Chains A and B, each alone.
Chain A
Amino acid sequence: MTYLITQTLNGLFSAALLFLIASGLTLAFGVMRIVNIAHGSFYMLGAYVAYTVTARTQSLLAGAVAAMAGVALVGFAVERFFLRRLAAQPLAQMMMTMGFALVFRDAALMIWGGDPFTLPYPPGLAGSFAAGDVVFPLYRLFVVLVAAAVGVALWAVNEKTLLGAKLRAAVDDPEMAGGTGINVGLLSGLVFAAGAALAAFGGVMGGPILGGYPGMDFDLLPLAFVVVIIGGMGSLKGALAGSIVVGLVDNFGKALVPELSYFTLFAPMVIVLAIKPTGLYGRA
């Protein structure tokens, strides 16, 4: 029982991180049909920028804000100056993001060196929560709550605001949306930047546990892709459902059948896709 509770909580923690990363990925896909291979780089850059700023200011909050702002700016620039030139050419765009993924990886290595690091815990969250035999780190619970809050905020923006309405229109049919006077170009830039910021935030939130290290950009990326594919590309609801499925399957898979842990993760996805190529909540 103890085991089951702890593992489930762990699974939710992974799900929370994955949701932060995958929501940006799915939004970019929804609006611009961009399969963003460099999304993992935004996650990595978030952790690295936060590391530098936190070390200078002694404040994780300042680090998080700087990371999100900085990476959002990078994301905006990549979209505005590069990806937009290739509008409606998904393959070329994907290749372009792949090029950027390589550039960012090497740039991070050049700027920060190869030493692994972890971010400090926010004050008061370093301890563990104990109830009987269940001992669970407080910070992991915190991450789950924060991700839930981000999810609610995204839902609210999407469903309750004018921006959200424009966004949904752009997801449904970019050309039609453009025809009704929505500035799809600006909207695309903003969505891409917001997605980058979310990934960076994921890097910061994961920082105290997973830390930062060369190669982290491609570590969670395949998992985030699995989430987006299972959930349906372009769907926030799908990203949420996908994160929970993948987070839990990944954790229990690693614990129960370690030999097949990657298989348990990817095989269900292949089956989902074979049956419903657009994923659980996706539209063709």
Chain B
Amino acid sequence: MAARERDGLKAVPYRSAYRRVAWFVVGALLVLGPVVFTPYWLGLLTQVMVFAVLAMSLDILLGYTGLPSLGHAGLFGVAAYAVAVLSTAHHASFWVCVIGGIVAGTLVSAVFGLFVSHVRDVYFLMITLALGMVVWGLSYRWIPVTGGDNGISGIPRLESHAGLPVSGPTPVYYVTLAVLIVCGVLMARLVRSPFGYTLRGIRENEARMKSLGFNTWLHCYVSYVIAGAFASVAGVLWAYYNGFVGPTYVDLTASSEVFLMVTLGGPGTLVGPALGAGAIVLLKNVMSAYTHRWLLILGAVYIVTILGAPQGLWNLRVSSPPRGTRRTRR
């Protein structure tokens, strides 16, 4: 299959040299982050990395399995809220919060997965949108637990809660970087495993996979739960980085923003969505400092991207036939 070859690491030698240099420079910049960047930019970079984990987790669904989820911020939010509730109302310890957050998000995605794994395409999009709205509705109106519109503030800072001897933005940065690397490697291995190739097979031609004897429902379900688990990791990081959670982090706008990170960056590449997360977080923060019209510009960027690079920016590197949205033709 064509997709298999493209994704199969058939690296062309001279390209690989450039790639190594590029990776080295990026890696060096990230590792030296606290030296190179001011605290403000370090904070932004931390945000970028949190959303990179989230966007990559959505990419497993959208890019590799071909399931467009428009409620992904809901799963992220469940984990973030779990950390917030545990750490403020119950004064739980650091590891209880971390594990509690990941477990809560994963459990919710395990339940939601039962509702969504048998539908495809636009219907999948609609049901996940609705599930996302259910989470949002609860966060907004289940006031005794979530604080409603007020959200929950006063989540302890990561370094003090974890008992690290250092303070400031640097420890959060390095923890996030480490988590990003671990998650990135895990996800990259996942999509290159036999399981990952089966997901791609479902994306390309589900009927064929079925006739080959694959349980496609189960594969979709597992991929949804895995994506939910990684989204929960991002949610936990976010709760600690931000110190505050509120309904706006789980609403439709938030979910569509993650969706845009993936499509902008290039679905089915993992690296692309991570860069997409970077582009959007930076655009949002930097542009809004210079102009009050950043929403207009953001909208225009989407329109231009979809017209000019419908498969996402990262896929522009490969001059191969497009992938991604083409498959969802009725």
Contact = CB atoms under 8 A, between A and B. Distances in A.
Direct contact of A and B (CB under 8 A): yes
Interface of A: 33, 35, 37, 82, 85-86, 88-92, 94-96, 98-107, 109-110, 218, 221-222, 225-226, 229, 233, 258-263, 265-267, 269-270, 273-274, 277-278
Contacts of A104: 299
Given A101-B299, A105-B295, A218-B252, A270 B115 contact: yes
Interface stretch (B45-53, B211-219, B301-309): B301-309
Interface in B228-282: 252-253, 256, 259-260, 263
Interface in B146-172: none
Nearest to B115: A274
Given A91-B325, A103-B299, A110-B296, A263 B141 contact: yes
A221 B299 CA distance: 18
Contact of B299 (A94, A99, A258, A267): A99
A99 B302 contact: yes
Interface string B295-326: 11011111100110010000000000000111
A106 B330 CA distance: 33
A111 B123 CA distance: 36
B7 interface: no
Nearest to A96: B306
A94 B122 CA distance: 10
Secondary structure at the A interface, as helix, strand, loop or mixed, is: helix
A35 B307 contact: no
A222 B252 contact: yes
A225 B114 CA distance: 22
Contact of A95 (B134, B142, B263): B263
Interface residues of B, number: 47
17 contacts: A86-B310, A89-B310, A90-B328, A99-B303, A103-B295, A225-B129, A225-B130, A226-B130, A262-B134, A262-B136, A266-B133, A266-B134, A267-B134, A273-B115, A273-B127, A273-B130, A277-B119
A260 B302 contact: no
Interface string B51-84: 0000000000000000010000000000000000
A95 B328 contact: no
Nearest to B118: A277
Given A100-B299, A102-B299, A89 B328 contact: yes
B325 A103 contact: no
A85 B131 CA distance: 31
B293 interface: yes
Contacts of A260: 137, 141-142
Nearest to A269: B130
Contacts of B299: 99-106
- Which of A85, A104, A270 lies at the interface centre, i.e. has the most chain B CB atoms within 10 A of its CB? A270
B295 A106 contact: yes
A92 B310 contact: yes
A35 B303 contact: no
A82 B138 contact: no
